[in-house]
A and B are shown apart, each in its own frame.
Chain A
Amino acid sequence: MTGPTGRALTLAGLAVVPLAVLGVFFVLPVSGMLSEGFVTDGRFDPGGVLEVLGRPRVHRVLWFTVWSSTVATLLAVLLGLPAAHLLHRRRFWGRGMLRSLLLVPFVLPTVVVGVAFRELIGEAGPLGFLGLDGSAAAIVAGLVFFNVAVVIRAVGAAWESLDPRPAEAAAALGASPAQVLRTVTLPALRPAIVSAASVVFLFCATAFGVVLTLGGLRYSSVETEIYLLTTNLLDLQAAAALCILQLVAITALLVVMSRLRAVPDPTLVRSTALPPRPSAGDWPGVLATGLVLLLVGAPLAALVTGSLRVHDAWSLGNYRALGGEGDQQALLVPVGEALLTSLRTAVDATWMSLTLGLLVTIVVTRRSRTRAERRVRGLLDGLFMLPLGVSAVTLGFGFLITLDQPPLDLRDSPLLVPIAQALVALPLVVRTLVPVVGGIDDRQRQAAASLGAGPLRTFATVDVPATWRPLTAAAGFAFAVSLGEFGATSFLAREEHPTLPIVIFRLIGHPGAMNYGMALAASVVLAATTAAVMLAVDRLRVGSMGAF
């Protein structure tokens, strides 16, 4: 299996499952929706779509999407990097708690976060004097709130796996901390940073609730525009035009990112030393972590406070009510039941995205021998990022119109929700794994192979130990994405088994003083569960490392 044909076959064999999944659950539905837009009266007619692309409104919408996402991504990276250093390269009490707390925003339904934010910055809120409500600044803050954890966790995982010795050597040779950072650490982290930033950018560019809720309807992004065109106006021609725009923009982004990601010597060595305690030199990390905590903590505090108020008095009444069926019947099922459904779905979504993600990672990180092979691997790498950049409604409606014929009659399948969530989580998983696996020195594998190890054994002894940390980080991501996913889930969810975000959405969308309090309380339950799961995942990885 070492000849060129053998390599090609192995590559194809590993890629076939993820490609098939992507083909059925992404390419097919999206092309279905696109063809609805391009074909009028049974005739291929691209003119209408092109006409839409020329509209001034479309240009405005595109410009807003690009600049707001760029600013939010930059802020998330600027805040996330120092925080990642403190939370992943320093050892202090409560570190695990902080790390899991920071992932909480990631799972909260936007409608709740919107309410929590607006309780703070609205006219009557404690920060109302800032006049942020309905401003672009509020949108950017909301985007950073949701996504800063991606940078911290993804870059942090890579930073943890980084060999500290080159940096120590540089320092011993007289380099200042800033010089070490600039010449040793950042170059080594570049693939991880670029990866995280590209994922964050895609999340920001396809954000929907944040833009509408915090922007007071004054701003439209490509995503909100597609939503309006598809769900309200059924103007599929214009929606197809914007979808093409999304695809082109993502492709451009991916090309740029793959250039930026490439480093001359990506080799990483596993670090094994116990991280030191924070020192005075860690002030940028402390400062950034403090800022992130403030940004994440204030809306969360508003949420917790609100959940504990009943008729202007402190009470646990909202929490007690979660066991029943609510004021009237706004609570579809007891919250415990919905939480269980959410957890079950998340387990499915996690193993699906991890399995797919691992296969993709293996395929794209093996060192290529020819240029054509490298091209193919690069193409595959980008391909699996696409689901993040395409609107959930495009995908959701696409499911309905394309997956309706045997053998793909899957419209009503209970698999659809976890699969959709796994597709959303997949880019995160891949982007967390690839920088680390790509950084493994191929000579280690060659050494293992020449000592007689088969491909599986090589993978188990070389790749797995190095990948374990990012793998658990990715699992945490996938789990969190699934727990909080609302767009696709609300589109596909089955009435019998609503997930917790669906229940919260319903509670907050109906009158009744109790319903509002219960929605906040249910969000706190969701947040607490997430934090607990993340904490457990982090523990798990420390324990497993000890076994090696």
Chain B
Amino acid sequence: MRPIHALPRALAPLIAASVGLALAATGCSAIGESSSGDEPGSSNDSSSAPGRVVLVTHDSFVLPKPLIKQFEQQSGVDLVVRASGDAGILTNKLVLTKGDPLGDVAFGVDNTFASRALDEGVFAPYDAPLPDGAEEYRLPGDDGHALTPVDNGNVCVNVDDTWFADHDLAPPRTLDDLTDPAYQDLFVLPGAATSSPGMAFLLTTIATYGEDGWQDYWTRLMDNGALLTAGWSDAYEVDFTQGGGQGDRPIVLSYDSSPAFTVADGRSTTSALLDTCFRQVEYAGVLDGAANPQGAEELVDFLLSPEVQAALPESMYVFPVDAGVELPKEWATFAKQPTEPASVDPADITEHRDEWLREWSDITSR
């Protein structure tokens, strides 16, 4: 037997490594941190003990921290936010975990995905008292009032007004204008298969040209040199003339709120074409099988409170559903909302999404 003090020298790095690992595991690692924090252990029942309410949402969700504190104080429960993925991923997660939900409330399912979640019975009915003006945002077909509208925003074609002024060209106004040779090679937009605004634009064209006419419109649009990108950031930041990069296309698919972000010297350099818009509404709902249904209902009410509604534009870049809430100054001046945005029945979207996207891919990749 070898005495301890004659530990082979070569073992030294191994020991050093294990000490390092031990340090890592306790001191400077994420695990060490969260287990010493207020987070309850991961192995015990983590699906919402009373005393907290879990919000499942997409990764665009953000609210000012003081507001969240305020909710926790008023309701006496901790708010745990689980945010990841986009609206589609969120919806599909909810569908796949139906009956054993990931939390108590889901926020962020929009009107293009909502009917899939409704059909699957993901939500429990809860008829939250709506603020003034919110009634018009209810999901068509949601007769049991499972979903509560929280915010809305429109996907619209945006134009760079300075570019058109510099080039002595009148900016386009309608969807048809975008296929006019005068605007050849000027339009950039994210694709419908990979981006939620892209999907919204496809739905605009379906609403405008009908279920048998949109294919022809897209053929003309692509023939006129429209450029497709994977996501919104690519289209807006790289290719759009008013984006962060050195883009050269003055027409882009974005939001009705976007002109509020291109303000220079008291005026916006861009504007949204209000005849090309599709309205997206985001909903909150109590999940069926929630561990804390009462806390869940309080959370839905909280999302409709004037404080949260007022914080929505600057936190999540969307409009409140509460008509009585005052908008931030630049929004009130520059972010014009369309009066009659395009709409497609949510049940139709769920039924035909697959088929429409397939057709769309065939047309655009020709």
Binding site for B on A (CB under 8 A): 36, 111, 114-115, 118-119, 122-125, 134, 209, 212-213, 216-218, 228, 230-235, 306, 328-329, 332, 341, 343-345, 347-348, 350-351, 355, 397, 400-401, 404, 406-407, 409-415, 417-418, 456-457, 460-461, 464-465, 468, 490-497, 502, 505-506, 508-513, 515-517, 520, 544, 547-548
Contacts and interface: CB of A to CB of B under 8 A. Distances in A.
Contacts of B258: 511
Interface string B1-40: 0000000101111100000010011001111011100010
Given A123-B248, A493-B84, A509-B232, A217 B191 contact: yes
Contact of B365 (A217, A400, A409, A548): A217
Contacts, number: 214
Contacts of B85: 231, 490-491
Contact of B317 (A216, A231, A511, A517): A511
Query: What 8 A-B pairs have minimum CB-CB distances, sorted nearest first?
Result: A516-B244, A413-B42, A124-B248, A212-B230, A511-B261, A344-B30, A495-B83, A495-B81
B236 to A, nearest CB: 7
Interface stretch (B92-100, B132-140, B206-214): B92-100
B149 interface: no
Contacts of B169: none
Nearest to B228: A217
Contacts of A397: 92-93, 96
Given A329-B315, A407-B43, A460-B8, A516 B28 contact: no
Contacts of B82: 412, 494-495
Given A115-B245, A119-B246, A397-B93, A348 B29 contact: yes
Contact of A233 (B21, B93, B233, B354): B354
Given A231-B89, A511-B236, A516-B244, 18 more contacts: A115-B234, A118-B234, A123-B227, A125-B246, A217-B230, A228-B193, A228-B357, A350-B24, A400-B97, A404-B97, A407-B43, A409-B46, A412-B46, A414-B30, A491-B84, A509-B60, A511-B317, A544-B13
Contacts of A515: 244
Contact of B39 (A111, A217, A414): A414
A233 B353 contact: yes
B102 to A, nearest CB: 7
B61 interface: yes
Nearest to A404: B100
Interface in B195-252: 227-234, 236-239, 243-249
Contacts of B96: 36, 397, 400-401
B97 A401 contact: yes
Contacts of A512: 261
Contacts of B239: 118, 122-124
B168 interface: no
B229 A460 contact: no
A147 to B, nearest CB: 20
B92 A496 contact: no
Contact of B42 (A328, A344, A412, A468): A412
Given A235-B354, A409-B46, A111 B231 contact: yes
A509 B233 contact: yes
Given A460-B14, A502-B59, A513-B261, A409 B357 contact: no
B88 interface: yes
21 contacts: A115-B237, A209-B230, A213-B229, A328-B315, A329-B314, A344-B28, A347-B30, A348-B30, A350-B24, A351-B24, A412-B102, A414-B34, A457-B8, A457-B11, A490-B85, A495-B83, A509-B60, A511-B255, A516-B237, A516-B243, A516-B244
B194 interface: yes
A547 B12 contact: yes
B194 A217 contact: yes
B247 A124 contact: yes
Contacts of A492: 84
B45 interface: yes
B61 A495 contact: yes
Interface string B75-89: 000000111111011
A388 to B, nearest CB: 22
A410 B30 contact: no
Interface in B32-67: 33-35, 39, 42-43, 45-47, 59-62, 64
Nearest to A516: B244
Given A234-B116, A465-B10, A491 B89 contact: yes
A218 B45 contact: no
B254 interface: yes
Contacts of B257: 511
B364 interface: yes
B45 A409 contact: yes
B10 A548 contact: yes
A508 B233 CA distance: 6
A233 B247 CA distance: 32
A341 B12 CA distance: 30
B229 to A, nearest CB: 7
B47 to A, nearest CB: 7
Contacts of B354: 233, 235
A182 B96 CA distance: 54
Contacts of A348: 24-25, 29-31
A302 B6 CA distance: 56
B173 to A, nearest CB: 22
Nearest to B62: A329
A350 B24 CA distance: 10
Nearest to A355: B21
Contacts of B47: 409, 412
Contacts of B97: 400-401, 404
B230 A232 contact: no
B238 A118 contact: yes
A449 B82 CA distance: 54
A207 B163 CA distance: 37
Nearest to B64: A329
Contact of B238 (A119, A418, A495): A119
Contact of A508 (B25, B59, B237): B237
Given A216-B228, A329-B315, A344 B29 contact: yes
A547 B13 contact: yes
B84 to A, nearest CB: 6
B14 A411 contact: no
Contacts of A122: 238-239, 245, 247
Contacts of A506: 59-60
Nearest to B254: A511
Interface in B238-295: 238-239, 243-249, 254-255, 257-258, 261-262
Interface in B336-366: 353-354, 357, 364-365
Nearest to A517: B244
A351 B19 CA distance: 11
A114 B194 CA distance: 15
A231 B88 contact: yes
Nearest to B46: A412
Nearest to A405: B100
Nearest to A309: B244
A411 B30 CA distance: 17
Nearest to A115: B238
A464 B82 CA distance: 42
